[in-house]
Amino acid sequence: MSKKNLQQLVDSLSRSSKHFTKSEVECLIKLFNTLVAESRNYFAAVGFDCNVLRDVLYRMFGMMDDIMMDRVFHTFDTDNNNRISVEEWVRGLAVFLRGTLEERIKYCFDIYDLNGDGYITRDEMFQLLKNSLLKQPLEEDPDEGIKELVDTALKKMDYDHDGKLSFVDFEKAVRNENLLLEAFGPCLPDIKSIMAFEQKTFQETCKL
């Protein structure tokens, strides 16, 4: 990429990803190019695949849950072509690292809405919680404990009492109690991971 083309891309992404400065966007583009080069994938010209993002999520943010990592990939991959482009990478990270409450509410809802039908159903809650909670070996039927958690979540968050969570339900619940943002599993990085990633990306490996 020529210097002129890089600058045009930086300018464009800085406008659409308002949480980053131009120099930070340039650093993220450089990291993206490094990840693409390391992947040595036939499709690298259009971005990198799920395995590359999963590796980033594991190494840099300590994420280990398979469902969550796949769902994060899905929320980044806005055009659904199974590749993360540089534009999707920067815009995705803008919400992932520095999103407003509104942006994070939408992001988490999209993560938990496994089939994309606009609702977090009882079955989806069960699947998410079963996957993210540690199994207790002394429990005779661990599924019963998960079902109780699902019932508790619905009582607390299902404002229209239709047995599932719409975006309106989820948003209202989170605004009333922010801790419910990641009610069905950790899908956002913690502050420590964010600070380490930003220091490494913006200061150590990208001296402008």
| Model pTM score | 0.89
Domain residues of the chain, as ranges?
3-99+190-204, 102-182
Q: How far apart are CA 8 and CA 29, in angstroms?
A: 12
Q: Which residue has the higher pLDDT, 39 or 63?
A: 63
pLDDT at 204 over 60: yes
pLDDT-derived band of residue 38, with 50, 70 and 90 as boundaries?
confident
What is the Cα Rg of the chain in Å?
A: 19
Contacts of 105 (CB under 8 A, 6+ apart): 170, 171, 174, 175, 181
Output the DSSP codes for 89-134: HHHHHHHHHH--HHHHHHHHHHHH-TT-SSEE-HHHHHHHHHHHSP
Query: What does CATH list as the number for 3-99+190-204?
Result: 1.10.238.10
Q: Do domains 3-99+190-204 and 102-182 have the same CATH topology?
A: yes
pLDDT-derived band of residue 207, with 50, 70 and 90 as boundaries?
low
Query: What is the average per-residue pLDDT within 151-163?
Result: 96
Q: What is the pLDDT of residues 163-178, one digit of tens each?
A: 999 999 999 999 999 9
Q: What is the pLDDT of residues 94-147, one digit of tens each?
A: 999 999 999 999 999 999 999 999 999 999 999 999 877 665 555 567 788 899
Q: How far apart are CA 145 and CA 99, in angstroms?
A: 33
Return the amino acid letter for 111.
Answer: I
Q: What is the pLDDT of residues 2-33, one digit of tens each?
A: 677 888 888 888 888 889 999 999 999 999 99
Helices 86-98 and 101-112 cross at an angle (nearest 10°) of 110
Q: CATH for 102-182, among 3.90.1150.10, 1.10.238.10, 1.10.3720.10, 3.40.50.1100?
A: 1.10.238.10
